[in-house]
Structure 1
Amino acid sequence: MKNKYLYGLGALLLGGGLSNPAWAQNQESRAFYAVGSSQELVRQLESQVATAESRRATPTISLRVSGSQAFVGKVNHREDLTGSGEYLVGEIQNVPGSSFLLRIEGNTVQGNIILRQTRQAYQYSADARGNVRVQPVDIDKVLCVDYHQPVGYRNPAPQPGTADNRAAVVSLQSLPGARGCIMLDFDGQYVSGTPWNNGNPINAARRA
């Protein structure tokens, strides 16, 4: 009798879950697509880029995220990493507000595809053997796109200036152990290949 009850309860829960569209959608969002090995991916990317370069065209690559869906990535920056890797940054062709980044070094794979307008994101990863996979993720786990004030937040009242706090402004230091920092460059800087600006060069002109 107990076994029949447990069997019936299990069947009821399974049937209820499968008939619930929200549950099914949630399970689907966690699914991943197996891309192949990291070195297979490197060879595919190199072949696609070489074909475009031979035609003197802007390099594009195919970024497949499922068995039935692939994006065309326009490559704005490319680096050959020690012969066994690739570093590519760019944007999804004809999709405003999009970007992608893909870094492959040996069996290590990191990357993402961001579609800001539709609030979609995909993330690339690989296991220890270099088997690459891509899966949809919450865009807020990749990039902050909304900046909502916390409930009940109040803007702090302005503090009157004193000699002590005015002097403290010139003492700017990085927090030891912080995960990152912000660089304020007042002398001008030209950088390229960053995740920002879709891999295009950033020219921060020097201010007189």
Structure 2
Amino acid sequence: MTDEKGGAVPAEQAAPTTGGKGLTDEVHYPPVDNGLDYLVSVVDHLRGEEVGRRELKYAVVHLQAAVECLLKYRLELEHWSLVFKSPGDAMRSDLDDGSLTTCTVDQTITRLVNLAGVTISLKEDKDPKQLASLRHQLQHYGRLHDAKVNRYVIEAKAADVLEFLIHFVDSELLPRLDPAGRGDG
């Protein structure tokens, strides 16, 4: 960034601030914080008498992000290699630098049940998978491919997944978080 005379402006002065901290500060968003933040966003987007197109879209996108963050974090607590698409090829350095390809929501749920002993009912298993499909269609194609699915069906599915995640956080994550409650300790 340059000032009005064409001179360079120090990064400390150029960076916008939020919450009293400059954006030049270290960026760190632990998975549990991310997941919970997404959940707050979902509630904010679905609150009110009339939920608009934009609010519904972001509620679905953020709810799917919450599912991925929170479920994969629980899977990682079982063993770090389980979040890899192919655990047999897992390298700790890929996890540490974020270059890994992670497992799908389907794989995550299957591994949570089969390897981590997490109890997930058939309905709880189906809802996040259906949400993933809805999110994919909305985000990448801008529409739904099933004419029977409308905004009310999407809102109902979001409510089911939100309920599942609240229970999941309470039963599977809170008991396992470090004392600071961040899950990154």
TM interval, short-chain normalised? under 0.3
TM-score, L = length of structure 2 = 0.25
TM-score, L = length of structure 1 = 0.23
Higher Rg: 1
Structure with greater strand share of residues: 1
Bigger relative contact order (CA 8 A; separation at least 6): 2
